[in-house]
Amino acid sequence: MAIIDEIKSAATLVHQIGNMDLYKKILEIQAQALDLMENNLRFKKENQALREELEISGKLVCEKDAYWSSTDDKKDGPFCTRCWDADRKLVRLHKLTGNQAYSKCPNCAANPIKLNPEMERKSTFVRNDYDPLA
């Protein structure tokens, strides 16, 4: 904030001299400098967020309708494709309690995804008299 301190010093000197027009102009410049500093900080934060998003994107692999983060032979996931593609949120999928073969997103509640077909629960109830057209 050295520039703001310099502007304040100049404003104090001009005020002591008594040149009110110049004093007002320096105060306007000070306000503009503060706005520029706030914008700069906002842009730096946005830049950092975009860099982090880009880094995450580079590690994501889509497999079995879900995203997996892959780094150095380490696989993490599954993550919701809808949440990442639409909102850039990396949301971990949860297995359904009734059928462990399927996972569902707790954030967007997208349709369940069959990630583990080997864990699918088979129904033991067979109904032979069911006619869907009747």
pLDDT (0 to 100) of residue 10 = 85
Model pLDDT for residues 113-127, shown as the tens digit of each residue: 777 767 666 544 445
Domain boundaries in the chain? Answer: 2-54, 64-119
Q: Work out the angle at residue 93's Cα, subtended by the Cα atoms of residues 90 and 95, and round it to the nearest 5 degrees.
A: 170
Model pLDDT for residues 36-93, shown as the tens digit of each residue: 999 999 999 999 999 999 998 889 998 888 999 987 778 888 999 999 999 999 999 9
For the chain, helix, strand, coil in percent to 5 are: 50, 20, 35
pLDDT (0 to 100) of residue 21 = 86
Chain centroid offset of residue 131 CA: 48
Separation of alpha carbons 112 and 80, rounded Å:
10
The residues that bridge with 69 in the sheet, in sequence order, are 60, 76
Q: What is the pTM of this model?
A: 0.58
**Span of 4-13, 92-101, 112-121, 123-132 with lowest mean pLDDT:** 123-132
Res 131 pLDDT > 70: no
pLDDT (0 to 100) of residue 125 = 47
